[in-house]
Amino acid sequence: MEGNSGGGGGGGGGSSGGGGGGGADVELLCKTLQVEHKLFYFDLKENPRGRYLKISEKTSATRSTIIVPFSGISWFLDLFNYYVNSEDQELFSKELQLDTKVFYFDIGENRRGRFLKVSEASVSRNRSTIIVPAGSSRDEGWAAFRNILAEINEASRLFLLPNQQNSESSERLLSDDVGAGFISGHNTQPATSSELNVDRSVDLPAQMKLGTWGSPK
């Protein structure tokens, strides 16, 4: 179940990277999504430092929030597309670096079923994690989450200023599972599914390159 929300996700934000809490924040767009017993709030906001997407997970007992820089919305969409569309045996953990943050995407499973754990790590706030269930039917939860990201990504284009349309200041890094080298992307086009699931036995496209360092979780 999903729909628009006027109240926003609130709570647990904190300051970081592309945005965070603060009285000067302006809400541009808000969405809500229910997956099983959880509610997810998606708040696209703006403050003097820029725009950002706050994603909050709320259960009856807990609330957790991650802050996604504006430039990372399309990358989150690409990654959720990867997890929704790939076969189970092809799913791997991923890492995405945006500005001063690293986001970790990890697949897990418990008695309730599969889930995707998305963690944000940065020097400016404590590590924060949201957990997205796959859903009661095949990838229902992930697909619904992906659809909300697609709506926000499309709507965010309306909020771009002219000088933002042709430039992106943040370097985005994406890796395969633990121990793999980072893949550094300097182009502004979203990654393709083949780039997200890199086979290191073949040459990478010219605009992508393997870094010489890894980042263990």
Q: Which CATH architecture has domain 26-159?
A: 2-Layer Sandwich (3.30)
pLDDT at 149: 97
Structural domain boundaries in the chain: 26-159
Of the candidates 75, 58, 62, 208, the one whose C-alpha atom is nearest the C-alpha of residue 152 is 75
**pTM of structure:** 0.69
For the chain, the first-to-last Cα distance in angstroms comes to 33
Name the phi and psi angles at 81, rounded to 5: -60, -40
Query: CB count, 10 Å around CB of 104?
Result: 19
CA separation (Å) from 88 to 92, 132, 162? 9, 16, 41
- In a 13 Å sphere around the CA of 48, the CA atoms on its Cβ side amount to 3
Tens digit of each residue's pLDDT, the chain (217 residues)? 454 444 444 444 433 445 555 568 999 999 999 999 999 999 999 999 899 999 999 998 899 999 999 999 999 999 999 999 988 878 899 999 998 999 999 999 998 889 999 999 988 888 999 999 998 776 589 999 999 999 999 998 887 655 555 444 444 565 554 333 343 333 334 444 444 543 333 343 343 333 333 344 4
